[in-house]
Chains A and B, each alone.
Chain A
Amino acid sequence: MKKIVMILLCGGIASVSAEECVLAVDVAESMNVNASNECDSTDSGLNGVVHRWFKRDQKSSAGNSPQEKEIPRASIKVSPPANSAESLATARFELLSAISQECVQGFRITDEMYLPVDGELTIRLLYECL
Chain B
Amino acid sequence: MLRRRLVAALYASWSNSKDQNIKLNVRGHFMKKALLPVAVAALLPLSAMADVTVYGKANVSLQNADENGDSKVELVSNASRIGIKGDEAITDGLKVIYQFEYQTEVDDGVGGNGQTFGQRNIYVGLQGSAGTIMAGHFDTPLKAAQEKVDVFNDLEGDLVHVFNGEIRASNIVQYTTPKSFGPFVGNIAYITKETDGVDNGVSASIGYSASDLYLAVAMDRDVLAEGVDMVRVVGRVNLGAVQLGAMYENTDIDGLDDGDGFLVSALWNLTDTWAVKAQYAESDYKIAPGGLDNESLSLGVDYKLSQNAVVYGYYSAVETQDGASASLRDDDYVGIGLDLKF
- Is A103's beta carbon under 8 Å from chain B? no
* A15 in contact with B341 (CB, 8 Å): no
- Is B132's beta carbon under 8 Å from chain A? yes
Which residue on chain B has the smallest CB distance to residue A33?
Answer: B132
Which residue on chain A has the smallest CB distance to residue B85?
Answer: A28
* B139 in contact with A31 (CB, 8 Å): yes
* A23 in contact with B127 (CB, 8 Å): no
- Is A26's beta carbon under 8 Å from chain B? yes
- Is B308's beta carbon under 8 Å from chain A? yes
Which residue on chain B has the smallest CB distance to residue A11?
Answer: B241
Among A46-54, A71-79, A90-98, the stretch in contact with B: A46-54
Residue from B99, B139, B179, B308 in contact with A23 in the complex, judged by beta carbons closer than 8 Å = B308
Interface string of A23-66 (1 = CB under 8 A from B): 11110111111101001011001110011001101100000000
Among B25-33, B49-57, B282-290, the stretch in contact with A: B49-57
* A19 in contact with B211 (CB, 8 Å): yes
* A24 in contact with B85 (CB, 8 Å): yes
Residues from chain A with a CB closer than 8 A to the CB of B341 are 23, 25-26
Residue from A23, A24, A29 in contact with B307 in the complex, judged by beta carbons closer than 8 Å = A23
Interface residues on B, range: 35 or more
Interface string of B120-141 (1 = CB under 8 A from A): 0100010100001010001100
* A28 in contact with B101 (CB, 8 Å): yes
Q: Please report which residues of chain B, range 42-84, place their CB below 8 angstroms from some CB of chain A when the two chains form the complex.
A: 46, 49-50, 52-57, 81, 83
Contact A58 B53, CB 8 Å, known A16-B241, A23-B307, A24-B85: no
A42–B55 CA distance with the chains assembled, in angstroms: 11
- Is A109's beta carbon under 8 Å from chain B? no
Interface string of B18-37 (1 = CB under 8 A from A): 00000000000000000000
Residues from chain A with a CB closer than 8 A to the CB of B46 are 54, 57-58
- Is B198's beta carbon under 8 Å from chain A? no
Which residue on chain A has the smallest CB distance to residue B83?
Answer: A28
Query: B212 to nearest A CB, angstroms?
Result: 9
* B132 in contact with A54 (CB, 8 Å): no
* A12 in contact with B57 (CB, 8 Å): no
- Is B258's beta carbon under 8 Å from chain A? no
Q: List 20 A-B contacts (CB under 8 A).
A: A8-B268, A12-B241, A15-B240, A15-B241, A15-B271, A16-B240, A23-B307, A25-B56, A26-B341, A28-B121, A31-B121, A31-B144, A32-B185, A33-B97, A33-B132, A34-B132, A34-B185, A41-B53, A54-B46, A55-B50
B residues contacting A by CB (< 8 A) are 46, 49-50, 52-57, 81, 83, 85, 97, 99, 101, 121, 125, 127, 132, 134, 138-139, 144, 147, 176, 178-179, 185, 209, 211, 239-242, 268-272, 307-308, 341-342
A residues contacting B by CB (< 8 A) are 8-17, 19-20, 23-26, 28-34, 36, 39, 41-42, 45-47, 50-51, 54-55, 57-58
Given A34-B176, A34-B179, A50-B54, 16 other A-B residues pairs in contact with their CB atoms under 8 A: A8-B242, A10-B240, A13-B239, A13-B241, A14-B240, A15-B269, A16-B241, A16-B269, A20-B307, A23-B341, A28-B121, A33-B97, A33-B132, A33-B176, A50-B52, A54-B46
